[in-house]
Every structure is written in C-alpha cells, then in structure tokens.
Structure 1
Amino acid sequence: MANRRNFIKQTLLGGAALTTAPSFGFHIVKKTKSNDLVLGHGDYKYRLDRDWAQISSLRTPLLNCHEMVMDSKGRLIMIGDDPRNNIIIFDKSGKVLDYWGTAYPGGHGLTLSKEGGEDFLFLTDSGWFLDKNGKWVRHNGRVTKTTTDGRVLFDIGHPQTIGIYQPGDHFCPTETAIGPNGDIYVADGYGMDYIIQYDSRGQYIRHWGGKDNADENYNLSNAHGVAIDYRDKDNPMVVCTSRNEQSFKFFTLDGKYVRTLHLPNLQVCRPVFDDNNLYAGVCWSQPKEGKTDWRDHTGFVTILEGDTMVSNPGGTAPEYRHGELQKAYQLPEKPILHGHDVCVDEDKNLYICQWNANKTPPLKLERV
C-alpha cells in the first residue's frame, strides 16, 4: 500500500495540470503551485480542486449536492435536490456524461447495489424540498430502486401502509444500505429515526431505533446515514449515524446493538468505508467560542483508520489526550462549508458533496 501511495504521489506531482477547464458560470481559479491548498493530516493529505466539476449552471443547475457513488465503470454518480436534474454523472476528469431525473425534489440519499454483474441505484427522496418561493415544504418521502440510466424498478413508500407507522407519523428517509443477502436498510433520518429492514424485493422484515427505548443504546437522534461495514468479513455490521449524538452506532444485521463510536463536536453524515478506513462528511461543528445555527458554514471531512481519527481535511488535526479523542473544529479559512458525503476512488482521491454551500458543485481532494 505504501509503495502504491508513493507512486500515486509522484504521478500526481509530476503530472498536475496548471489550468482548469471552463466552469460555465462558476468562479474559476487558475491553479499554480503557489496557491495550491493542501488539506488534511498525516498520511491523509489532499490538494483541493474547487473547479473539478465541469458543469453548466444553465444545462445542469445545482441546489445542494447530497451524495455520490462510483459505479463499476468508474463513473461518479451524484444525487441532488434541484428538480430539473436529480442525477448528474461525471467521469473522473469532472466532465458531465449524463444527467436525468425530475421526480425527486427531495433527492438526498444514493446507494449503489451490484447484482449479478449489473449496477443498480437506490435513490432516497427525504420528503423535504425548497419551493419556488424559497420555503421548505414537506411531502411524502420514498426510496426508489432504478437502473443507472433511471429506469424505475420499484418504490418503497410510507411505512403506514404496512402497519409500522401510525397516521400522522412522518416518513422522511435519508439513506439506504444494502446487506450481503440483498436486504435493504432504510434510515428514516428526518422522520421517526427508525432503521427499517426490508428484503431485496421491498418486503418488510423488522425495524429498530427511534426514540425513548428502554435501552438507550437503541435510541437514534437524526439517523441521517446507514451503511454496511464489511471490514470484518466474517461479521458485517449495520452502522447508523446518530448525528445529534455525534456518533455512529453499530448493530448486527438483524438489529442487535453492538457498540457506539463517539466523535466529539462532529455532526457527521453517513459512514463511507474503504479498506480499513471510515470517511464521513461533517455537516456541522460548533466553534471553540460562541454558538451557531444550522445555516452557518461549519463543516469539513473526517477520516478514521479503524476507530482512530487520523485526518480532518478542512478541519483541525485529530488530538487524543490520555487515549480520549478531543473536539475538532473547522479551519478559519472554511475550505469546506458543509461536508455532506465522501466518495473514494481507486487512487484514494476524495470527492466531496456539500449541502447549503452556495450551489457549489462537488469538490475533489486529490491525494498527495
């Protein structure tokens, strides 16, 4: 791994481009060695490329970039909540290859499923969107399975229809994860904070989480993300974000609590696993002094090796005292405004989707 990393580093340094392709209405910064911004710490440092996405504000407008995955062809697929194009597909140079979807005004979660050599997408509409007057509106959220070109295969709708929610209970899903046998785990992160498990055909199996459980380990507060942790191949686990608790909670595949990983001061989004690493966008962090509200730009990205925080691109360096993780904070320069998702390519470059970031397209963090 170290030899491969050094090779990548030498290749990037030797072949770094000094100009940027037109960004069609977004501010363009000419890149030179003198103004390259390197973020991160230790072995996880990255050169920030703000103008990676060669995107047109007229043809492919953006509101919020929520999540991104890489498919088997190496294409980077992004979901957002601009109703004129929910899905935008890039190549790794940042060129737009395709865009589709107008039926997901609350486009929020995006998960890739590989079945029989074919890629499928699970799109999560959270049920929240901005209307033409700039006001937040709630509608019924849903999860949709599609092909990568947008053909709908089936929907998972409101759980009231299967008797696990009562009339008036809000269903505002934010994320899905796909288990080793094809089971679908839905995080109702903006609704009732349950994790709802379905089989591969969308038939209900069980649910857990929510609030006010006798065992508080099962409580989830803003269950924003969910993913499957395959780092122990013999013991995969469901990892759930409890964002208001600044934590990830680990469960067995059938919903039994295992443990909690607390990340002080970091309101994290979904966990993203690659090799032994866990990556996550940090949507908010409170400053050392004063308080902020949800509209303020206080985010960055965090990276862990196993359970150990090793780098915070856009934030302060991880610090442990007597084995206890200390709070991390956004850098004063605010290079990342609200980290909402991280996508990792095969060269360990990162692509960062941001929420509430002035319609910013995805950023690239190039590993150095």
Structure 2
Amino acid sequence: MSTRRNFLKTTGLASAALAATPSFGFTIINKNKPTADVILGHGDYQYRLIKDWAQIGHVNVPLLNCHEMMMDSKGRLIMIGDHPKNNVLIFDKSGKLLDYWGTAYPGGHGLTVSNEGDEEFLFLADSGWYLNKLGKWIKHNGRITKTRLDGRVVFDIGHPVTIGIYKPDEDFCPTETAVGPNGDIYVADGYGLSRIIQYDANGRYIRHWGGSDNPDPNYRLVSAHGVAIDYREKGNPMVVCTSRSEQCFKYFTLDGKYVKTVKMPNMSVCRAVFDDNNLYAGVCWSQPKVGKTTWKDHTGFVTIMEGDKVISNPGGTEPIYKDGVLQKSYQLENKPIYHGHDVCIDEDKNLYICQWNANHTAPYKLERV
C-alpha cells in the first residue's frame, strides 16, 4: 500500500469516510467545500470521482461514445471512440489533450496497445456500426486494423468470409482484440456471431471458437464483447472472453480449450482489464432491484476483483457473498457512472473510465484514496 494511502487512512477525515462507505459505496467528504468530493468503491479500493478530468472543448474535439482506453509505455492515455470527426484521442495523465486523429473508423470500439520490442502498435476494432447525423445506426463492414501510434496503417483484418469461416450473409462486427505472448491476435466478434477468431502475428487465420449458437454451454459466448490475456497465473496465460449477455467471464487456454466460468450476477461486463492480481471491468448495464430498464437507460458502474472475487464496485453497491456465491450488485441510485465501458489503470492505481451512451461525456478519472 502506498505511503499516500496509508497517510489518508490514518486521518480522521479518511476514517470518517471509510466508516460511512461500506453500505452504500458513496460518501460526501468536507461538506464546507463548494463542491463536495464524491468517493466511490469499497474496502481498500475507494476512489475520488473527477468528472472534469479531460481538458477538451467539445466543439473543437467532439465526442460521441468513449469506448476504450489504454496507457502506452510513455504514460500517455490513448482512447478510441466513434465520433466521425475523431476516432483516437491521446491524453496525458493530467487530462491534457496531446493529439487526436482518425476518421476512417466510424465504428471505433476496441483498442489494444501491443508492445513489440522497440516499438508499440495499436490494434483498432471498428465494430461496423455508427450513428449518422440523423441519429440512426448505420451498418458498414467491420474490421481490425493494426497501426503505429500515429495512425499509420500496418495491415487490416477484414471480414472472415474471405477465408471461408463465415458465410456471405453472416455479420462480422468485431468489438475487441487481444495479443498473446507469441504475438497471436485474438479477435472478439462481439456484435456479430460472438466468436473468438485467432490469427497469427501477421493476420493469418489459425482457429475460432465460441458463438452464440454453440450447443456446448462452456463454449457458448453470447455478446462476446471483450477478449484479454490473463497473465496472473505464472506460466499459464489464459484467454478471458466476455459473455456479456450471460453476465460472466469465460476462460480458455491459448488454443481455445475451455477452463472455467466466473459468474458476475446482474453485471453486463465489458472486457477484462488486468493489473497486478486485479481484474477491472466496466459494467455497461445492470437491472434495478425493482422493475426493469432498457439498454438505453443509464444503469452501469465499475467492478474490481482480486483473483476471481469481486471486492469493490465503484458506482455500484457493495459486493456481497453468501456461502461463497456472489449476490447481485446494483447501480447506486444517484448514478455517478452511467455506463461503464472500459477501465484504464495508471501506475498510481488511479482509474480512467470510458463510458458509452453517457451524454457525450469525456472519460472520468477515479483517483484512488
């Protein structure tokens, strides 16, 4: 635990905050300030909400949906979105906008930073869907593109009908990529057939698995929204696939053999993001304790795990286990986070939250306390 966080926990201010937090995950600190601090989360994973972290003007740099963000080796925060005027935005950790580029990815959705020795690359997933000026969703051809950090294209991976594993009338709408330890590329067709397609480092097809129509429940993926590589178990990296409509993560070997399922009750989770022993994920939707909501309603938050156990839900209720089984988690009534879509973690364990359908808001910062 850092010295800063130890100091905060020894003060009366932090003690009062921690005492008030566990039941609700929401605390107001120092009510004499013009704008009170909002503290989200539980236990040792609590955060100060900073909504105005990003220093951008929405007229010059407009935003639609902020889908995903990763940090490169220089500490720059690279974000992908789907506004037709800019697909990729690059920030420093103070929130200053350093650069923005790209109009060729109108369905900009997934972003992965890949370190290949002396150079880093981006893998961009264009889902094949975008919102036009009339507010209507338009479908085009989804694809995966490998670029340099400045946007120069290295190669594209297009529709898998070209290699004979999809039929001409089957949709390919990729939402995410992950890069394995040997450079293999794993593509999540999250809005198409919910398959994971594995390619080698040069984009040559190897295998695929999953699918929403898979008769084997272990291999079935329904809205395979995210894919990531879990290196937490030494010598045993695994492919972690989101089955968002089933509210779970499913783990596979690097060659697609099923390992386990981790259930996330009432949490429509996005991709898994790993840091130390933790798994972080945006929760795009949940359902209230009473009644039902639609996919357009703001019902999301963020979830944090140690190993396979949920230990904090910033923006949501405290995680509860009964007889070792995780119970349903819910969004806080004041809706501090609308739709958690991705989480980026810096070296100080602060979080940067990208949101979908969040009234054109820029990413939020959650400063760890």
TM-score range, shorter chain: over 0.9
RMSD over equivalenced CA pairs, Å: 1.6
Q: Distance in 1 between matches of 2:69 and 2:309?
A: 24
| Structure 2 unpaired stretches of 5+ | 15-31
Q: Tell me the secondary structure at the aligned position of residue 335 of structure 2.
A: coil
Deviation at 1:212, TM superposition (A): 3.1
Matched to 2:6, the amino acid is N
Deviation at 1:40, TM superposition (A): 0.3
Q: TM-score w.r.t. structure 2 length?
A: 0.92
Equivalent position of 1:226 in the other structure = 227
Q: Distance in 2 between matches of 1:142 and 1:58?
A: 29
Equivalent position of 1:261 in the other structure = 262
Deviation at 1:9, TM superposition (A): 7.5
Equivalent position of 1:287 in the other structure = 288
| Structure 1 unpaired stretches of 5+ | 15-30
Q: Distance in 2 between matches of 1:280 and 1:61?
A: 25
Say whether the 8 Å CA contact 1:121–1:148 is kept in structure 2: yes
Q: Distance in 2 between matches of 1:129 and 1:262?
A: 31
In the alignment, is residue 207 of structure 1 matched against residue 208 of structure 2?
A: yes
Equivalent position of 1:6 in the other structure = 6
In the alignment, is residue 274 of structure 1 matched against residue 260 of structure 2?
A: no
Equivalent position of 1:321 in the other structure = 322
Evaluate the alpha carbon distance shift between residue 305 and residue 33 of structure 1 in structure 2; reply closer, same or farther with a 3 A threshold.
farther
Evaluate the alpha carbon distance shift between residue 345 and residue 8 of structure 1 in structure 2; reply closer, same or farther with a 3 A threshold.
farther
Q: Distance in 2 between matches of 1:259 and 1:228?
A: 14
Say whether the 8 Å CA contact 1:8–1:347 is kept in structure 2: no
Q: Tell me the secondary structure at the aligned position of residue 162 of structure 2.
A: helix
Matched to 2:367, the amino acid is E
Q: Tell me the secondary structure at the aligned position of residue 365 of structure 1.
A: strand
Say whether the 8 Å CA contact 2:82–2:107 is kept in structure 1: yes
Deviation at 1:95, TM superposition (A): 0.3
Q: Tell me the secondary structure at the aligned position of residue 218 of structure 2.
A: helix
Equivalent position of 1:42 in the other structure = 43
Q: Distance in 2 between matches of 1:323 and 1:93?
A: 40
Give the alignment of 1:81-92 within 5 angstroms.
Answer: 81-92=82-93
Q: Taking every aligned residue pair, what percent have the same amino acid on both sides? A: 74
Q: Distance in 2 between matches of 1:52 and 1:34?
A: 15
- Of the structure 1 ranges 353-362 and 213-222, higher mean CA displacement relative to structure 2 is found in 213-222
Q: Distance in 1 between matches of 2:177 and 2:333?
A: 34
Matched to 1:260, the amino acid is T
Q: Distance in 2 between matches of 1:70 and 1:354?
A: 17
Say whether the 8 Å CA contact 2:212–2:223 is kept in structure 1: no
Q: Tell me the secondary structure at the aligned position of residue 37 of structure 1.
A: strand
Equivalent position of 1:235 in the other structure = 236
Say whether the 8 Å CA contact 2:281–2:343 is kept in structure 1: yes
Deviation at 1:107, TM superposition (A): 0.2
Q: Tell me the secondary structure at the aligned position of residue 40 of structure 2.
A: strand
Say whether the 8 Å CA contact 2:273–2:279 is kept in structure 1: yes
Q: Tell me the secondary structure at the aligned position of residue 301 of structure 1.
A: strand
Equivalent position of 2:253 in the other structure = 252
Equivalent position of 1:93 in the other structure = 94
Q: TM-score w.r.t. structure 1 length?
A: 0.93
Q: Tell me the secondary structure at the aligned position of residue 216 of structure 1.
A: coil
Equivalent position of 2:27 in the other structure = none
Equivalent position of 1:107 in the other structure = 108
Evaluate the alpha carbon distance shift between residue 200 and residue 8 of structure 1 in structure 2; reply closer, same or farther with a 3 A threshold.
farther
In the alignment, is residue 198 of structure 1 matched against residue 175 of structure 2?
A: no
Equivalent position of 1:56 in the other structure = 57
Q: Tell me the secondary structure at the aligned position of residue 360 of structure 2.
A: coil
Equivalent pairs, count? 350
Q: Distance in 1 between matches of 2:74 and 2:312?
A: 29
Deviation at 1:6, TM superposition (A): 2.5
Say whether the 8 Å CA contact 1:177–1:228 is kept in structure 2: yes
Deviation at 1:324, TM superposition (A): 1.0
In the alignment, is residue 345 of structure 1 matched against residue 346 of structure 2?
A: yes
